[in-house]
Structure 1
Amino acid sequence: SPPPHVSLVKVEVVRAKLLEQKFKLFFRVDNRDDDDLTVRGLIYKVTLSDFVLTEGESNEWLTVPPRSHAVFKVTVRTNLWPQIRDVVQMLKNPDRPVPYRLEG
């Protein structure tokens, strides 16, 4: 059976304070199989441009129907103060794609 495909479809800034930023990550999980896919958690590392935005683990469960997709939402807190201006600039312009890498 073909493996599921996971992509990061959206990063939303929830709050950006001096020493703590809160983001909501939206992961799309594509089930390319003919059976239900149960996701029992997601271990992820998201790199924006050339720095790590966040890494961690979500223990949420999600069932994706056959040949369908579902969105996995993860709220993360981080301290990107040294890079916060770059991050906010990157996320401010929705027309310009942000280079990112997702490991999961």
Structure 2
Amino acid sequence: MRRTFWVLVFFFAALLAACAPRLQKPEISLAGIDLVGLGLVEQRFVLKLRIRNPNDVDLPVNALNFDVELNARHFARGVSDKPVIIPRQGETILEVRTVSRLGDVLKPLRDAQKNGRERIGYRVFGNVELEGFGSFPFDRSGDVPLKALEKFAPK
């Protein structure tokens, strides 16, 4: 009798787990970069990250940590603990303040200019923490027009 009880409990637990929707991880990409402060050694930026929710339920983002590379070189690191709800099948832009050393900005820009490229590659990667769903890694690459970033480099 006791064994039958546990078999039924296991069966119903497995049945409920099979009915639960499969959560797809949110898609995070770089939507923009704004310079907000310029110093002798470092620059302060606001990075705009687009967070897209491919699910049929709202996603409550509790925290986000990430790194950004330009042309496969470190550019900036950021953290956000600002809670935000990403609507189901929707997206939002999260603005995060970051600091970057001047050399981390200049080197990839100068390399791209020297090679005559009109676009520069980027990579944004890290982890997003979703309330009630756990933590998910993300890694997105793309490119942006070099002209959009040249304004950050001193002439």
Structure 1 length-normalised TM: 0.81
| Higher RCO, 1 vs 2 (CA within 8 Å, ≥6 residues apart) | 1
Unaligned runs of 5+ in 2: 1-22, 113-117, 127-155
**Structure label with greater radius of gyration:** 2
RMSD: 1.9
Deviation at 1:57, TM superposition (A): 1.8
Structure 1 residue ranges, 4+ long, deviating more than 3 angstroms after superposition: 83-90
Q: 1:77 aligns with which of 93, 99, 114?
A: 99
Map residues 31-46 of structure 1 onto 2, 5 A cutoff: 31-46=53-68
Deviation at 1:88, TM superposition (A): 6.7
In the superposition, relative to structure 1, how do residues 35 and 25 fare at CA in structure 2: closer, same or farther (>3 Å)?
same
Query: 2:26 & 2:105 partners in 1: Cα distance?
Result: 33
Aligned length: 98
Deviation, structure 1 residue 13: 1.5
Q: % of aligned pairs identical?
A: 27
Could you tell me which runs of 5 or more consecutive residues in structure 1 were left unpaired when the two chains were aligned. 91-95
Alignment-derived partner of residue 39 in structure 2 = 17
> Between Structure 1 and Structure 2, which shows a larger proportion of helix residues?
2
TM-score normalised according to structure 2 size: 0.56
Residue 55 of structure 2 corresponds to residue 29 of structure 1: no
- The residue aligned with 1:7 is 29
